[in-house]
Amino acid sequence: MRPLETLLALANAFALFARVLPAPSRTWCSQLAGPLVLLAAVLQPLLEGWRWQLLPAYALAWILVALWVRQTLIARPRTRVAAPWRSRIAVVLGAWGLALSVGLPMIFPVFRLPAPTGPYAIGTVTYHWVDADRAEAFTAAPADRREVMVQVWYPAMKSSRPRAPYVEDSANLGPLARLLRLPPFALGYLRYVTTNATPGARVAGDQSFPILVFSHGRGGYRQHNTWQIEELVSHGYAVAAIDHPYAAAGVTFPDGRVAELDPRMTDNAFVDSMVGYLAQDVTFTLKQLAILNKADPLGILTGHLDLARVGVFGLSLGGAISAEACRQEPRVRACLTIDVWMPQSVLDGGLRQPTMLMTRDAESMYLEGWTAADVNRTQDTMQRVFERLPGDGYLVRIHGMFHQDFSDAPLFSPLTRWLGLTGPIRAERAHDIVSAYSLAFFERHLRFRTARLLDGPAEEYPEVVLETRGRGLGPP
């Protein structure tokens, strides 16, 4: 809980406690508790921002304030004493209200992202780009052009300035909440989460950094793997995450327009037909990054992007988009796809780049509730792409992972585990494993460094079963 949320809960608890004390103590405690509750109830939404998880706390606070005003500030003689049973009921109801006012903010916390382990601080900036050469395939108007929002994280100088918000417009996350089997408003509190990145921070040093392009899942958003992105950036990578309009939960453009999730994206056949089009967002983003590297209009990234060392990674639908982008785009030198079926075009044409396919075992998929058809499609197509790789390849299966464990979702709430949305593996452990293997892969194939994890079984990660192809000795 945030500091003022904690203060509000403690003030409510103190005011309730004061009401059950013997008469002499009750009087002065109530006189102290009333103003304290009033102060906390005003300051918390004013300074930290209100959220729906605190509605029971607000309601309890204003009831207690009203009682304090009635009993302390309004001079009125009491003509009768309340029945004992009424007092007991009031105390029980107050206790339930207090439990809810503490429980809900803890179940849906304004969480902290883990601190990255690399030597670099992190900066971030967001761009709006329009592809004048490509029509918008999701809308009917022939004049509509494809446009994307792309957020770039990069190694930066340390800064004491405020950190960037996790999401800029949490109202767009309603479709994602429904996918997680939560009410549409449930994720609104994410607007209060801050990251480890500083908006517009100065780039670290005068060197250029390898570029990684991230693609989100169906109904997702560009920030849903921020823990993984920040870890990679802290080790010296620039990461550009694409919001794919109409495939994302919701994308807000600078003029206020919102591209909402296209209802057709719930149909797998339609999704399959759109993977190639969405992969062109990656190619367009690489084109724009090359322009930024020559002359960033914000004056931040000019000369700091190494376009000779480009990798792509994505989760779920983003993993399929990444694989297709790797098939289409020869500039991509390393391809990481996470927990997804492979598109037919990739099955037919194969991939040329060093590739890591990361997923979990079939047993974990069945435990999560996946159908046999979905399990077989994911496992079989990833295996087929892996076996056809002409060079270096890695098939990573992590036992105990559920689909959402590859994203930020386990940080949202402990309910994700109780509801069966995340697996038996702990969130911290899941993220540590994914980070370690992701970093090792890009270190070996974009920087040509030693990566012991990719050479065989690792004692520190017994949950991982690793299959390898090739020798991973350096650049092709």
Mean pLDDT of 269-284: 97
Nearest-angstrom CA–CA distance, 11 and 382: 55
- Tell me which of 81-90, 280-289, 328-337, 342-351 is least confident: 81-90
Nearest-angstrom CA–CA distance, 256 and 136: 18
Q: What is the pTM of this model?
A: 0.90
Q: What is the pLDDT of residue 96?
A: 78
- Across the chain, how many H-helices and E-strands are there? 14, 12
pLDDT in tens, 358-370: 999 999 999 999 9
Q: What is the pLDDT of residue 476?
A: 44
Q: What is the pLDDT of residue 73?
A: 63
At residue 429, does pLDDT exceed 80? yes
Q: What is the pLDDT of residue 104?
A: 87
Tell me the sheet residues that pair with 418: none
pLDDT in tens, 109-164: 999 999 999 999 999 999 999 999 999 999 999 999 999 999 999 999 998 899 99
pLDDT confidence of 89, banded at 50, 70, 90?
low
3-state SS of the chain: helix, strand, coil percent to 5?
45, 20, 35
**Residue 230 region by backbone torsions, left for phi larger than 0, else alpha for psi between -120 and 50, else beta:** alpha
Residue environment code for 53-77, b if the CB has 16+ CB neighbours within 10 A, otherwise e: bbebbbebbebbbebbeebeeeeee
Angle at 462 between CA 459 and CA 467, to 5 degrees: 95
Query: Burial of 412 by CB count in 10 Å (0-12 exposed, 13-18 middle, 19+ buried)?
Result: buried
Which ranges of 111-247 does DSSP label H, i.e. alpha helix? 174-179, 226-234
Q: What is the pLDDT of residue 26?
A: 59
Residue that is written with structure tokens 């390393």 in the block: 334
pLDDT confidence of 18, banded at 50, 70, 90?
confident
At residue 86, does pLDDT exceed 70? no
Architecture of domain 121-469: 3-Layer(aba) Sandwich (3.40)
At residue 94, does pLDDT exceed 90? no
pLDDT in tens, 52-64: 889 989 988 888 8
- Tell me which of 97-111, 205-219, 439-453 is least confident: 97-111
Q: What is the pLDDT of residue 21?
A: 66
Higher pLDDT, 377 or 174: 377
pLDDT confidence of 25, banded at 50, 70, 90?
low
Mean pLDDT of 344-367: 96
- Tell me which of 9-13, 82-86, 385-389 is least confident: 82-86
Q: What is the pLDDT of residue 472?
A: 55
Give me the chain's average pLDDT, please: 90
Higher pLDDT, 463 or 101: 463
Q: What is the pLDDT of residue 90?
A: 63
Q: What is the pLDDT of residue 76?
A: 53
- For residue 126, give the nearest of 165, 153, 159, 87 by alpha carbon: 153
Mean pLDDT of 395-404: 96
Nearby residues of 461 by Cβ (< 8 Å), 6 or more positions away: 433, 436, 453
And the tokens for 358? 């990361």
Nearby residues of 34 by Cβ (< 8 Å), 6 or more positions away: 15, 64, 65, 68, 69, 72
pLDDT confidence of 173, banded at 50, 70, 90?
confident
Angle at 18 between CA 14 and CA 19, to 5 degrees: 125
Nearest-angstrom CA–CA distance, 218 and 247: 6
Q: What is the pLDDT of residue 276?
A: 97
- For residue 39, give the nearest of 55, 18, 15, 74 by alpha carbon: 15
pLDDT confidence of 226, banded at 50, 70, 90?
very high
For the chain, the domains span 3-107, 121-469
